[in-house]
Amino acid sequence: MRGLSGVDLRRVHEHVAFMANRKLLSYSIAIIIANIISALFLIFFFYAGPASPMWSSIPLGFSIFIYKILISIQASRVGRELNTGEVQIYLAHTLTRTEYLLSALLVVGITPALVLVATYLTFLAIAAPLSYDFGSQLPYLFAELMMHATIVMALAIGGHENAASIVGVMLALFIWAIMGALLFLLILLGANKPAFYVAYAATLLIAMATPLTYRFTYGTIPSSLTPLSLPDPLLVLSLSTATFIILWMVFFIRFKRRDL
């Protein structure tokens, strides 16, 4: 079954299953914990009525944290496969470089992101009618996990498998603190100071890396408090999506020529 660009989807499927199976325990734990959190959230909604976006950010934040850890572990393992030369075994058995990286993209990024999105979609369907506001968070959720996968994979492909897991876990752990600190800085600094623009640029970058986290925090800062209005979350989501698509295209192009 050959797809676009001569990619054999059967081989990709086979390799994705193999890669995922090797971390089956991590996947299972991540999915079980995230589903328990979602179930608790569901019960809360049934008995307490529709909640504010801030409320929904709590279970989502926990689920995202768990999935980010899972993504970081998987990316680190892909990095290890590249560094140790294990990848040669798979490539020697007809898997092409494109098929290998596509498998990695599916295992590290797309599958975990879709599983979490699907979990919350199910939750939405069961707990309907929920507010449009909650449903609209799902594209941000997908983009946030994909951006996380992109960042850790950039490190892993670059041969920094340990950095991939450390940075991945740190980002997952401290993203709220980083985002909060940057927004606090923006409020604190005057518009005329160059430091403000540095902080503004940093905020934009972090926002692109974590569009859902930014969306949650964006709503908490009145625009009157900052000299320059913060970028709209929808714009950040668009930039974030474009960035991870472009970066993955770069990964694919560079990986075709990479020495293994």
Partner 1 sequence: MSTVEFREVSKRFKNVEALRGASFKILDKTVTAFLGPNGAGKTTSMKLIMGFLKPNRGEVLVWGEEPWRNEDIRGRIGFMPEKPVYPVDIAVEDLLNHLAMLRRISRTDLGRIVRLVGLEKMVEMKIGALSRGYIQRVGIAQSLLGDPELLVLDEPTANLDPAARRGIIDLLKVLNKELGVSMVISSHIIPELQEVSNYAVFIDRGVILDYGYLKDLWRKYETEAAFHIEATDVNALGKILIEKPYIRSVKRLNGVLEVSIDPGHYKSFESLLMEMGHLVKSYSFKTTSLGDLYERVVRGRS
Tell me, residue by residue from 51 to 90, as one string, x for binding to partner 1 by CB under 8 A and - for no binding.
---------------------------------xxx-xxx
Q: Among residues 28 and 88, whose Cβ is nearest to partner 1?
A: 88
Name residues contacting partner 1, limited to 91-130 (CB under 8 A): 91-97
Minimum gap (Å) between residue 252 Cβ and partner 1: 14
Torsion of CA 127, 215, 236, 129, to 10 degrees: 20
Q: Binding of partner 1 at residue 14 (CB under 8 A)?
A: yes
Q: Which of 173, 170, 179 is nearest to 216 (CA)?
A: 179
Q: Which of 168, 172, 240 is nearest to 211 (CA)?
A: 240
Minimum gap (Å) between residue 259 Cβ and partner 1: 5
Q: Which of 152, 107, 157 is nearest to 257 (CA)?
A: 157
Tell me 225's DSSP state. Answer: G
Residue 227 is encoded by which pair of tokens?
């000299």
Q: Binding of partner 1 at residue 133 (CB under 8 A)?
A: no
H or E segment to which residue 77 belongs: helix 53-84
Minimum gap (Å) between residue 108 Cβ and partner 1: 17
CA distances from 35 to 9, 108, 185, 225 (A): 30, 19, 36, 38
Tell me 2's DSSP state. Answer: B
Among 9, 18, 54, 173, binds partner 1 (CB under 8 A): 18
Q: Binding of partner 1 at residue 9 (CB under 8 A)?
A: no
Q: Among residues 5 and 131, whose Cβ is nearest to partner 1?
A: 5
Residue 240 CA to residue 77 CA, distance in Å, equals 25
Q: Among residues 95 and 171, whose Cβ is nearest to partner 1?
A: 95
Among 2, 9, 22, 246, binds partner 1 (CB under 8 A): 22
Among 15, 68, 148, 215, binds partner 1 (CB under 8 A): 15
Q: Binding of partner 1 at residue 232 (CB under 8 A)?
A: no
Q: For tokens 């999915």, name the residue.
A: 31
H or E segment to which residue 96 belongs: none
Minimum gap (Å) between residue 42 Cβ and partner 1: 36
Minimum gap (Å) between residue 15 Cβ and partner 1: 7
Residue 136 CA to residue 187 CA, distance in Å, equals 28
Q: Which amino acid is at 61?
A: G
Minimum gap (Å) between residue 75 Cβ and partner 1: 16
Minimum gap (Å) between residue 144 Cβ and partner 1: 30
Q: Which residues bind partner 1 (CB under 8 A)?
A: 11, 14-15, 18, 22, 84-86, 88-97, 257, 259-260
